[in-house]
A and B are shown apart, each in its own frame.
Chain A
Amino acid sequence: IVLTQSPGTLSLSPGERATLSCRASLSVTSTYLVWYQHKPGQAPRLLMYGASTRATGIPDRFSGSGSGTDFTLTISRVEPEDFALYYCQQFGSSPPWTFGQGTKLEIK
């Protein structure tokens, strides 16, 4: 299964709403769809699992939704610490469990 993320880069100002898309080439059981945040020089961080459940410590401005082939990560009001790379990944198919190519959320 190939995951395609869009947009490649999202330029927003703090306080704006961010909508990140992850589209799968085949249907994915939402149980197995996850999102990560990755900042330069740091380890990636699990944001969402099961497509819509926030991982431990993730603020409620982050939300996930979707099913089948279309999934969305939404940040209701972007904070300065949210500017980073975001990746989706799925474990519903046989390996390899590739990541999407990533969306860069940058400050406008």
Chain B
Amino acid sequence: QVQLVESGGGVVQPGTSLRLSCEASGFTFSSHPIHWVRQAPGRGLEWVALISSDGTYKHLGDSVKGRITISRDNSKNTMYLQLSSLRDDDTGVYYCAKDRGTRYYLGMDVWGQGTTVTVSS
């Protein structure tokens, strides 16, 4: 069964950091780029970041540049997102998603159920 499972969400204070994990199963993890997408309460989907299949290339959304670190461990079928200097507007549901492409980015065909991050003092 092709699956992505996010973890690491919770309630965190402004200015702190958190690390989210995305564990994959059921497909060749090392062959596919992985995205992070988030949705703030009452807002639409926001693309956050992408890491290429081998971790060489990383692309970041404008709202998180300078505050985000993404990495992956293909031996563990897991991708990580670390977000620092958290702000109120980082609150939302964070999804990881598999790109259906391998060399090129073609859209996200498998999504996790999401992990909720609440930034609040």
Q: Which residues of A contact B (CB under 8 A)?
A: 31-32, 34, 36, 38, 42-46, 49-50, 55-56, 85, 87, 89, 91, 95-102
Contact = CB atoms under 8 A, between A and B. Distances in A.
Nearest to A38: B45
Interface of B: 37, 44-47, 50, 59-62, 95, 97, 100, 104-109, 111-114
B34 to A, nearest CB: 14
B111 A44 contact: yes
A89 B47 CA distance: 9
Contacts of B108: 34, 36, 44, 46
Contacts of B60: 95-96
Contacts, number: 66
A55 B114 CA distance: 21
A96 B45 contact: no
Contact of B47 (A56, A96, A102): A96
Contacts of A96: 47, 59-62
Contacts of B111: 43-45
A38 B50 CA distance: 20
A44 B44 contact: no
A99 B44 contact: yes
